[in-house]
Amino acid sequence: MADLRVAQHNVSVIGIPEQDGELHVSRIYADVLIRNSNAASDEMTLVDTARGVRDIELVSSTMNLVSVATSRIPEQSASSTMTLVSTAGYWIPTTEESVSSTLTLTSVAVSAQDIFVSASDTLALVSLGGRALPSSAINILLLAHLVGHFNYVDDRKPAGHSLGLSQSVTTLSSIEVAQDLGLLQTLDINFPTKITIEHPLGIVQNTSTPYRMFMADTLSLVSTGRAPFIYQSVTNTLNIIDEAPIGVVNTVILFTQQVSFGYSQDIIHDLGVTQNLHLEGIWVRNASHTNLLGHALTWYEDTLCGKKQYTPFQGENTISNATIPPSDTLQDPQGDTGKFSLYQPYLGAAIEEVILRKPEMDNRDRNAYTRVSEETRGGKLIVYADPDWPKVRTLAVTVVGLTETKVDELQTFMQATVGEEIGITDWEGRLWKGFITNPNEPATQDGKAMWTISFEFQGEMLDVEQPGNENGDGMAMNITQEVTAVIV
């Protein structure tokens, strides 16, 4: 059976010009019915042109293109393509003008079976710029809402711009919904000229009204998945990668995810910050570490012997610049306690020497230190002492029961060595070098042939044997203590 083709053309003039040549209005209506064919197409061009000298001109074109394809075959295709051109030109002053284009694209595809169907709307705005300098090609999709009417109740009404990209698919199989707002700028140039490519996604709200305003800019990336299953996965991934061949690369990002659901939940923050730094050259880098962390440990045994014996309980201290702890072994041990003598020189064989009986038990061992004491405004006490600062040690002794001859012998010795370094072997056998600080101290007679004399000796202890010993040649003397010893 041959194809059936029906065509109808109807052209009518619906306007009556007041004068010939001033107004041309025409309408063309075309309907093409096609049956039992694989293709149906309508192609029509409407051109309304109004030219006149009157104040008000109204030119409008309204066109509906409807392509409907209904068939029992499984594949169908319906498309509408339309071009709207509205042009208004004035060559005399006018007070009112109106140029508008209304474009409605509706595509409907319905199928009675569970087969693949598609519905799409494509709105292409294309502007082309030729070789003129400067050239420009701009596409602007402007959504503007303006609200007027102020100063009466309910005068403040929201004005908003909404650009919604929505895709919805309902099916029993897997779901995949994607929204792609692609901002792409491409600039190709053949010369070494500074190239700038930017994607500004600006959300700006401005106001000058005196009323109270609430302004907020929100860039929300929301992915929502609903499925009749227990486990759901919602992921937002925002990758920000800065790459620079030289200079500073900085990436700052705040990332928040919140999940509210009654079943098992997982919140994953995947913050990928990648910085690549490519350098050419030799860079000397030093890694330094200052040991700021140390520890200290002490211990003790509270026993009776611990209160009598030389038992400093030494722990451990790794703190930098820590004070040198006391020695673990007994210091200044007793040596030969046979005699108490004063002699000169303090090393080698004595030229002058006085031997006395041992002093009384009230001998003094004075240890004076050089310290700095300060007090803060808040009343806090601060004391500091450097280990190298002088320490003065003084021995003060009193010898009783001397004969007058022994007293004379001692005073003669002090007169001969006044202000000079002498040596002392004390009652514990320790050797000192120093000088007598009070040679004018009087000797008193307590009884018949009983004289008492006191003196102070300021000096330091020597780590050598007594002069005259086989080890005491004086050639290997070591001074182990920076201590000044003084005698009385």
Contact footprint for other proteins (CB under 8 A): 294-300, 302, 306-317, 319, 322-327, 330-332, 334, 360-369, 371, 373, 375, 378-387, 391-392, 394
Cis ω for the linkage preceding 134 (within 30 of 0): yes
Q: Is residue 302 a contact partner of residue 308, using CB atoms and an 8 Å limit?
A: no
Cα–Cα dist 458/479, whole Å: 16
Nearer to other proteins, 145 or 371 (CB): 371
Question: Least CB distance from residue 432 to other proteins, whole Å?
Answer: 15
Cis ω for the linkage preceding 345 (within 30 of 0): yes
Question: Least CB distance from residue 331 to other proteins, whole Å?
Answer: 6
Nearer to other proteins, 72 or 308 (CB): 308
CA end-to-end span of the chain: 148
DSSP assignment of 79-130: ------------SS--S----------------SSSS---------------
Cα–Cα dist 278/298, whole Å: 53
Nearer to other proteins, 42 or 332 (CB): 332
Question: Least CB distance from residue 215 to other proteins, whole Å?
Answer: 54
Query: Which tokens belong to 432?
Result: 């000192």
Question: Least CB distance from residue 443 to other proteins, whole Å?
Answer: 21
Question: Least CB distance from residue 326 to other proteins, whole Å?
Answer: 4
Q: Is 456 exposed, middle or buried (0-12, 13-18, 19+ CB in 10 A)?
A: buried
Question: Least CB distance from residue 299 to other proteins, whole Å?
Answer: 7
Question: Least CB distance from residue 430 to other proteins, whole Å?
Answer: 11
Nearer to other proteins, 175 or 385 (CB): 385
Look up residue 391 and give its amino acid: K
Nearer to other proteins, 77 or 331 (CB): 331
Query: Which residues lie closer than 8 Å to 136 by C-beta, 6 or more apart?
Result: 129
Q: Is residue 423 a contact partner of residue 432, using CB atoms and an 8 Å limit?
A: yes
| 396: β partners | 364, 456
Question: Least CB distance from residue 328 to other proteins, whole Å?
Answer: 10
Question: Least CB distance from residue 312 to other proteins, whole Å?
Answer: 5
Question: Least CB distance from residue 457 to other proteins, whole Å?
Answer: 14
C-alpha closest to that of 434 among 488, 354, 376, 381: 488
Query: Which tokens belong to 186?
Result: 């491409």
Nearer to other proteins, 247 or 379 (CB): 379
Query: Which residues lie closer than 8 Å to 315 by C-beta, 6 or more apart?
Result: 296, 297, 298, 299
Nearer to other proteins, 155 or 428 (CB): 428
Nearer to other proteins, 303 or 445 (CB): 303
Q: How many Cβ atoms are within 10 Å of 75's Cβ, its own excluded? A: 10
Nearer to other proteins, 114 or 302 (CB): 302
Nearer to other proteins, 236 or 363 (CB): 363
CA distances from 365 to 285, 452, 455, 485 (A): 57, 19, 13, 8
Nearer to other proteins, 275 or 298 (CB): 298
Q: Phi-psi category of 210—alpha, beta or left, where left has phi over 0 and alpha has psi -120 to 50? A: alpha
Q: How many CA atoms lie within 13 A of 423 on its CB side?
A: 23
